[in-house]
């Protein structure tokens, strides 16, 4: 008799003998005294599906709690201590400055109980039942913007990456004190220039401009939220020499080169990926991160939409692209007999799998194309050139390539039909 395979559970999750699921997290040893216990438990539900739904919420709450215990300011540590003793609601009341008589007495008692164990400022916060006003810093601006943009959503992975990288660069350049403690309105143009120059010393002008654009968006959001009409964003209009795109940044590929690369790709999955990129002009990550269910058999098209493997660059990137007969046949061969929820590309259908796919394709690409200004992304440039050559309307080009469309009229309705898209795209297949 074959033993039933036990389903692998996510980290910190265990299943009780009666079937219910529970979150179990050991408290770091140096925090046990503050928490009052060595292990944290939370119910996650009676079924696997309930557990999957509840786990992210519980995990985020626990992570936040432990981070507050590790807080860098006395106010953070005071809130963590209050939460550990009296619960989250009491900590929120103290943080909001809404302390009633009952909580006031409780905090006074807690202060005397831990007086010999905590630093003087924590003792003072507890005894006075109040915290100093929260300073709106660059760090708070990032937190506010991330929450507004819902960066933990799978659709916003790319934005989350840029936020994390730009934040790390700001801390490295300006220092932790300036980033986390200096009021936003005291960030100067000199700070912004220092950030720009530090980036230029490390990355290309184009990348520098992209990171600055992220910081500008973060600060502008805070200016709007706080009504700081008299505060000029110091990151606005920073000059980045060499950042402007030129026609020579990426060269298009000739038909001879396209065919030559096709001939040297040995594996079926890479050939299918390459053919899809050649005929659609889609981004590599959009295709390599597709699921089997993204291949539309009825309409012979591919759906570009966010999933657990990868997000999309922007809302305008969500689209359906008609496939040539050759591209469809190759992709269908990968999909055939598999579940819709499985990655279409078994080797590359994972987070950051697009990087591995790009490296694998470039290995063969460079065997026949040695010009450094030509790369896999040149296929998108080629497709844009081909669409212009057949006089495809600009709005339809944007719809096919997933480019942002700022025209008001283009943001309404269901977009162009597949018939219309195929009419123009098929003229480039040759």
Per-residue model confidence as pLDDT tens digits over 31-78? 776 666 788 888 899 999 888 888 988 888 788 777 766 666 788 888
Same domain, 267 and 401: yes
CATH number of residue 305's parent domain: 1.10.443.10
Q: Is 36 exposed, middle or buried (0-12, 13-18, 19+ CB in 10 A)?
A: exposed
Same domain, 265 and 413: yes
Residue 6: predicted pLDDT: 58
Average pLDDT score, the chain: 86
413 has pLDDT over 80: no
Same domain, 121 and 146: no
Total number of residues shown for the chain: 430
Residue 408: predicted pLDDT: 39
274 domain-assigned? yes
Task: Give 101's contacts (C-beta < 8 A, 6+ positions apart).
Answer: none
Decide if 161 contacts 120 (C-beta within 8 A): no
- pLDDT bin (cut points 50, 70, 90) of residue 414 is low
156 domain-assigned? yes
User: What does the pLDDT average to over 322-327?
Assistant: 95
25 has pLDDT over 70: yes
Positive or negative, the CA dihedral 342, 343, 346, 350 is negative
Find the helix or strand (DSSP H, E) in which 304 lies: strand 301-304
Question: How many Å apart are CA 122 and CA 120, to the nearest integer?
Answer: 6
Question: How many Å apart are CA 301 and CA 426, to the nearest integer?
Answer: 12
Same domain, 213 and 326: no
Question: How many Å apart are CA 287 and CA 205, to the nearest integer?
Answer: 28
Encode pLDDT of 94-113 as tens digits: 988 899 999 999 999 988 88
4 has pLDDT over 50: no
Encode pLDDT of 206-255 as tens digits: 889 989 999 999 999 999 888 887 889 999 999 998 766 554 456 778 88
Q: Write down the H helix ranges in 114-156.
A: 120-128, 138-149
Picking from 286, 281, 282, 326, the residue whose alpha carbon sits closest to that of residue 307 is 286
Decide if 275 contacts 323 (C-beta within 8 A): no
1 domain-assigned? no
235 domain-assigned? no
Same domain, 277 and 406: yes
Range of the domain at 192: 138-226
Token representation of residue 5: 């395979």
236 domain-assigned? no
Question: How many Å apart are CA 251 and CA 369, to the nearest integer?
Answer: 12
Question: How many Å apart are CA 305 and CA 287, to the nearest integer?
Answer: 10
Separation in Å, CA 210 to CA 199, 214, 297, 392, 398:
11, 7, 38, 29, 21
Same domain, 312 and 396: yes
Domain total in the chain: 3
Encode pLDDT of 266-290 as tens digits: 999 999 999 999 999 999 999 999 9
Same domain, 347 and 199: no
Q: Phi and psi (nearest 5°) for 43? A: -70, 140
Question: How many Å apart are CA 40 and CA 193, to the nearest integer?
Answer: 46
Task: Give 227's contacts (C-beta < 8 A, 6+ positions apart).
Answer: none
92 domain-assigned? yes
Same domain, 185 and 318: no
């Amino acid at each position: 008799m074959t033993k039933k395979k036990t389903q692998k559970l996510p980290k910190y999750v265990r299943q009780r003998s009666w079937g219910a699921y529970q979150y179990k997290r050991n408290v770091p040893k140096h925090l046990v005294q503050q928490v009052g216990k060595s292990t944290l438990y939370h119910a996650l539900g009676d079924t696997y599906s309930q557990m999957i739904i509840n786990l992210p919420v519980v995990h985020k709450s626990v992570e936040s709690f432990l981070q507050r215990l590790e807080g860098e300011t006395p106010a953070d540590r005071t809130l963590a201590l209050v939460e550990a003793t009296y619960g989250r609601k009491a900590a929120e009341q103290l943080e909001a400055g809404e302390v009633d008589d009952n909580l006031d007495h409780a905090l006074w008692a807690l202060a005397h109980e831990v007086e010999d164990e905590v630093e003087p400022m924590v003792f003072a916060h507890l005894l006075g039942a109040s915290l100093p006003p929260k300073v709106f810093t660059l760090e708070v601006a990032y937190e506010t913007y991330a929450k507004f943009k819902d960066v933990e959503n799978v659709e916003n992975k790319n934005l989350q990456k840029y936020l994390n990288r730009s934040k790390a660069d700001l801390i490295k350049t300006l220092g932790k004190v300036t980033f986390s403690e200096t009021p936003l309105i005291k960030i100067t143009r000199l700070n912004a220039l220092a950030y720009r120059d530090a980036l230029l010393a490390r990355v290309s002008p184009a990348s520098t401009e992209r990171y600055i654009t992220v910081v500008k968006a973060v600060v502008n959001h805070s200016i709007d939220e706080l009504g700081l009409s008299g505060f000029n964003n110091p990151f606005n209009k920073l000059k980045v020499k060499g950042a402007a795109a030129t026609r020579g940044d990426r060269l298009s590929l000739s038909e001879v080169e396209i065919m030559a690369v096709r001939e040297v790709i040995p594996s079926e999955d890479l050939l299918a990926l390459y053919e899809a990129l050649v005929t659609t002009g889609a981004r590599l990550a959009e295709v390599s991160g597709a699921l089997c269910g993204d291949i539309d058999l009825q309409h012979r098209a591919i759906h570009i939409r966010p999933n657990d493997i990868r997000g999309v660059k922007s809302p305008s990137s969500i689209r359906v692209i008609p496939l040539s007969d050759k591209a469809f046949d190759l992709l269908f061969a990968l999909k055939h007999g598999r579940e819709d929820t499985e990655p279409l590309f078994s080797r590359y259908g994972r987070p950051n799998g697009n990087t591995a796919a790009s490296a694998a394709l470039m290995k063969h690409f460079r065997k026949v194309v040695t010009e450094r200004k030509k790369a896999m992304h040149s296929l998108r440039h080629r497709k844009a050139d081909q669409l212009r050559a057949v006089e495809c309307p600009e709005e339809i080009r944007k719809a096919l390539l997933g480019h942002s469309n700022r025209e008001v009229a283009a943001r309404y309705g269901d977009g162009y039909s597949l018939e219309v898209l195929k009419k123009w795209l098929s003229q480039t297949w040759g």
